[in-house]
Structure 1
Amino acid sequence: MAWTYNIPEGTATEGPKITAIALALNTFSLILVCLRMYVRIFIVKGFGNETRYGLGLVRREDMPFENIYGMLLVQYVGAPFYIIGVWGFKMSLLLCYLRFFPWVYRRATIMIAVLCTLGHVAFACVSLFLCTPIDKQWDPNITLGHCGNPITYYASMSWITIFFDLMIIGLPFPILLKSKIPPRRKAGLLALFALGIFVTATQIIRIHMINTLNDYIHFARAIVWSIIETNVGIVTTTLPTLVPLFNYFSEKAHTSKKPESGYAMHTWRDGMYELRSHGDHEIHISGISEGDSTEVILDVEGIMKRVDVVITRQNMHDSDTIQSGGSIEEGKPGAI
């Protein structure tokens, strides 16, 4: 890293470890995000707003004075990107909630999103203006002015972030617990949303690391956990959106082992249904079903899904064609 320059060969440093962790986790997160884009664009065809948008030296005495400026400047520039990353995966999950929450829970989701955004804007402002003058944060030659306590700032930020995380993790649980869906599927959905606990765990470890710091050299350990926190957050908020991809391959494997049914053939990529009767009429039903498992509306009565359809009924003898439009509401028996 930049601030490990100008040090003697063989000096103890954790730079290579930090680099390896960052590369591995960022690569894994990038792969998952690319898969998420593929699912949203090509499979469920629903590109939502949540988708659009010398470090490591062990001893302080080994740090050359000329490297301090560069190290602190990189930390100053990198802090807002960390805050944006943490805010980003929270907002991604909240926007995903808005796709299927009932109105009462949608209002709660919007309120939490606003509070979360305001909180992270405040974090960024404090990070950028922690010192007066501002360049005192990275220039050790400036002796005038004053700075806030960075350890207190980062620890406070982490606790507030944990509070936001717990609220976001807990939002879908009342809806899922009341919904009338099969217990096995309900348990799977609850487990997916509970993955956010891993993010909270990494934040708690990061707070412990911050509280044990005594100078800027030891910030390397906290930065490692910041990298882990950001990437774990990306992974845990991306996995639920990949359910349609897993379902797609599962259905392909399942249908390849069974003969095609003469009554119904469902292609969920384009929402086309074809039904054949044994009489002299053919009925084609085509609709729009571009949503994935998060496109449904959950309420205490069960899972409701609205599908707009166009029904074309063609007489095989006189070629008379009757078209009608309507909608089918799935989930409640007899609701059309």
Structure 2
Amino acid sequence: MHPGTRTFVTAAVVTGLAAVLVFSRMYSRFILVKHAGVEDYLIVLAFIFSVGLTAVIGLEVKNGFGEHTADLAPEAFVTIFKLLYVSIIMYSLGLLTLKTSILFQYLRFFVHRTFRRLAWALMALVVIGGSVLVLTSSLSCLPVAFNWDKTIVGGHCLNQPPLWYFMAGFTIVTDIAVLILPMPVLRSLHLPRRQKYTLMATFGLAGFGCITAILRLQSLHASSVSTDIMYDGPPAHAWSSAELNIGIICACVPSLRPLFSLAFPRFFSTSRPEYLSNPYPPGASYQRNDSTVELSRVAKTQYETTAVRSQLDNTSTEVDDDKAIHIKQNWSVTENHISA
């Protein structure tokens, strides 16, 4: 298969898979739960950038990307390098919004104070670092038109291969940080081992994006040392699209529990086992105040066994110093279970 065609097919397939997960997540959050958060809007934005990247790859291939450099007309170079410029920005913005979405999702799921501080700090690093990389990528040549027109007098560019490697390194480091961040909290939960490992595996799906980012390095190196970049460049684009879309897919999985419960009620029943379904001991007092149900005299260890499971059912809880539990959103409270 032609290198350009293979790259476009790869990008189209992974984008299609991401579309299925994103639309499923939107159905779950907007229709079933009716409580979308900022992380849901950000994942949609990341997907839009992914679709844009795939469209740009298609236009590049249409204009000869994947052909040998010697076989292309001069005007084709101009068009392809314009599209390459756009693709780099699409990729960078897609990763920035994707990671920010994941971290906002963490803030919805987890209430541990130290964890939240670390999540906010990592988010600041991702947003600031990602924004700097987007600006650096878009302004790596001045004037901007020098990216595709080397005849401009006085134009100059940064040494781009080191910039590519730095961007890849930053992506990998932040991928690893996002992957590791929730693991200590999940490991400390008072849950049966099987449920605990299932939760860790669910949140550990981000590791696939990290693996893809590492594999992308090889194709970046091949492009940077190539003497025929038009022919050797497409694999780097394929890996870029795969990295972004696999990240989107993995970020959507934890939000699909309500949809799974609807489709497979036997396996994803909203009723809890006794140690999960009755977190309110007999006589525990509570009072309803529009969007808050305050439950007192609930042991902290009992809360920890339900916190993450409740969050996966699209809730958000906070624990005060007096160990009262505040459950946000309108909840109906019965003797044996809670339903959002």
Q: Tell me the TM-score normalized by structure 2.
A: 0.72
One-letter code aligned to 2:147: Q
Query: Is 2:79 the counterpart of 1:70?
Result: yes
In the alignment, which residue of structure 2 is the partner of 1:318?
none
Aligned to 2:9: 20
- Whether 1:234 aligns to 2:248 is yes
Which one of the candidate residues 175, 191, 212 is aligned to 1:202?
212
Please list the CA deviations of residues 144-178 of structure 1 after superposition, one character each: whole Å capped at 9, or x if unmatched: 33211222111110111111111111111011100
Q: Which runs of 5+ in 1 are unaligned?
A: 1-11, 256-264, 267-285, 312-326, 332-336
Q: Which structure dedicates a bigger proportion of its chain to strand?
A: 1
- CA change 1:210–1:254 in 2 (3 A) is closer
Trace 1:1-336 onto structure 2 (pairs within 5 A): 13-53=2-42, 54-55=60-61, 56-101=65-110, 102-142=112-152, 144-213=154-223, 214-215=226-227, 216-217=229-230, 218-251=232-265, 292-293=312-313, 295=315, 297=317, 306=327
Residues 1:243 and 1:43: Cα distance change in structure 2 (over 3 Å) = same
Cα displacement (A) at 1:119: 0.8
Corresponding residue SS for 2:163: helix
Please tell me whether the aligned partners of residues 257 and 268 of structure 2 are also in contact (alpha carbons under 8 angstroms): no
Deviations 1:44-76 (A, max 9, x none): 222111012454424221222111100000111
Query: 1:125 and 1:309 mapped to 2: Cα distance?
Result: 44
Measured after TM superposition, the shift of residue 287 of structure 1 is: 9.3
1:97–1:310: structure 2 CA closer, same or farther, 3 Å change rule?
Answer: closer
Q: Paired residues, what number?
A: 275
Mapped contact 1:68–1:140 kept (Cα < 8 A): no
Alpha-carbon deviation of 1:204?
Answer: 1.0
Deviation at 1:291, TM superposition (A): 5.8
Q: Give the CA deviation at 1:329.
A: 11
Instruction: Classify the secondary structure of the residue corresponding to 2:265.
Output: helix
Which stretches in structure 2 are left out of the alignment for 5+ residues?
43-59, 272-289, 294-309, 320-324
Alignment RMSD: 3.3
Per-residue Cα deviation, 1:2-36 (whole angstroms, up to 9, x for no partner): xxxxxxxxxx8422212211221112111110110
SS in 2 for 1:251: coil
Partner SS state of residue 306, structure 1? strand
Structure number, greater radius of gyration = 1
Deviation at 1:330, TM superposition (A): 8.2
**Cα distance, 1:16–1:90 mapped onto 2, change above 3 Å:** same
The CA deviation string for residues 51-109 of structure 1, in whole angstroms up to 9 with x for no partner, is 12454424221222111100000111222111111112211110111113222211110
Return 79-88 or 137-146, whichever deviates more.
Answer: 137-146
Taking only the aligned residue pairs, the percentage that are identical comes to: 26
- Greater helix share, 1 or 2? 2
Please report the TM-score for the alignment, with normalisation by the length of structure 1. 0.73
Cα deviation for residue 254 of structure 1 reads 8.3
Quote how far apart the aligned CAs of 1:200 are. Answer: 1.1
Higher RCO (C-alpha 8 Å, min separation 6) = 2
